[in-house]
Amino acid sequence: MNHKLIPAVAAFLMLGVILSATPLAYAQTMLAFGPKLDVVTIPQDNQKLEKGIIILGITPTAPNTPLAPGPNDLLSQHKIIVTYNGQTLTWRVGDPGPTIACNWLEKDKVAVEPDPKSQDGKQGSWENLMTKLVDVSDKFVCKVRWKSPATGVLESVGVLDVYYVGPLTALPVVNVSPGTTGKQVGVWIADNILVVEAYFTVGRSVVYGSDIQDICVLGWAITGTTWGTPVAPSNHITKPDGTRHEMWDNAMGNFVSCEELALAQRNVLGIVPPAGQDPLA
């Protein structure tokens, strides 16, 4: 054998030994590296707390009475930019650009109680509540509005309009306390996770990217910490069809946590966390 080849052959054999000992999970992680899209979204409804806000327009009333409709704002707006290798994408109108897909997860609270027979389902006395995620993507729609730097050309920077398209009137649902007829629409009051995903075809490959945002769905706007008393809009604009777009200067009042305010408003409507077991216990 040519002695000059021995170092090369030895190196090749050592590499084979190393790769054969590499865990599969590590190999899969290594394969994940590659081109990707960077997606950045910035909420505009509450720029101080960096949250999107939707107001359903519920006016809390006495028990066993229908909901009184109030002023609402069913639109949450976000800035968006999608880049590939640090640059925005451009394409001609009619050609495929980056596709934007949105999905929503509602954060609900469950009162953790052990199973009465097995006593399983609760990690300890300290676990009084747990978070349950519910896919509510069918209650929202997102529409992206891209920048047009020149006639017939689009660029991957613009705004993302997020609309609540769920019910605004009473409907039969579970987990609503007795004596709250007409309050059921309040179950949509919650802290929500908005996941924004983008994908784009580059040559023969499809590259992906994603971002995450908070959207706070409230029953009504408040002032200070009086979560049970709706506050009137700070201003409004009249649209060409004569309807109004309502505006609030600070719909969350002194609250900085959407989850805490949502729990308080749901409690005003008699909507309490349902009992359940923790599947991780």
Determine contact, residues 277/122, Cβ cutoff 8 Å: yes
Tokens matching residue 102: 């949105």
Global confidence as pTM:
0.78
If you average pLDDT over each of 27-36, 155-164, 216-225, which comes out highest? 155-164
C-alpha pair distances (Å), 218 with each of 23, 32, 56, 228: 47, 39, 6, 12
Q: Is the pLDDT of residue 35 over 60?
A: yes
Q: How confident is the model at residue 11, as a pLDDT?
A: 53
Going from the C-alpha of 2 to that of each of 8, 9, 16, 199, the distances in angstroms are 11, 11, 21, 52
Interval 231-273: pLDDT, tens: 889 888 998 999 888 888 899 999 999 999 999 988 888 888 8
- The DSSP symbol for 184 reads G
Q: Give 185-226 as a DSSP string.
A: GGGG-EEEEEEEEEEEEETTEEEEEEEEEEEEEESS-BSTT-
**At residue 93, does pLDDT exceed 50?**
yes
- Report phi then psi at 249, rounded to 5: -75, -25
pLDDT of residue 245: 87
Rounded to an integer, what distance in angstroms lies between the CA atom of residue 268 and that of residue 195? 29
Are the beta carbons of 81 and 88 closer than 8 angstroms? yes
- The larger pLDDT score, comparing residue 224 to residue 41, is at 41
Q: How far apart are CA 98 and CA 37, in angstroms?
A: 10
Asked whether residue 177 carries a pLDDT value surpassing 50, the answer given is no
Query: What's the pLDDT score for residue 169?
Result: 67
The conformation of residue 37, written as its DSSP 8-state character, comes to E
Highest mean pLDDT among 17-21, 29-33, 111-115, 155-159: 155-159
Q: What is the largest CA-CA distance in the chain?
A: 95
Residue 67: per-residue pLDDT: 57
Does pLDDT of 21 surpass 70?
no
CB atoms within 10 A of CB 277: 16
Q: Is 133 helix (H, G, I), strand (E, B) or coil?
A: strand
Asked whether residue 25 carries a pLDDT value surpassing 50, the answer given is no
73-107 in b/e form (b: 16+ CB < 10 A) is bbebebebbbbbeeeebeeeeeeebbebebebbbb
Q: What DSSP letter does each residue of 155-171 carry, written as one string?
A: EEEEEEEEEE-S--S--
Beta bridge partners of 165: none
Phi, psi values for residue 257, rounded to 5°: -110, 120
**Mind listing the pLDDT tens digit for each residue in 101-149?**
999 999 998 888 777 666 677 777 777 788 899 999 999 999 999 999 9
Of 46-60, 64-78, 92-106, 241-255, give the range with the top mean pLDDT: 92-106
Most confident of 68-72, 180-184, 217-221: 217-221
Please tell me what DSSP assigns to residue 30. H
Binning pLDDT at 50, 70 and 90, where does residue 154 land?
Answer: very high
Strands 205-218 and 52-55: parallel
For tokens 């599969």, name the residue: 24
Contacts of 135 (CB under 8 A, 6+ apart): 103, 104, 105, 106
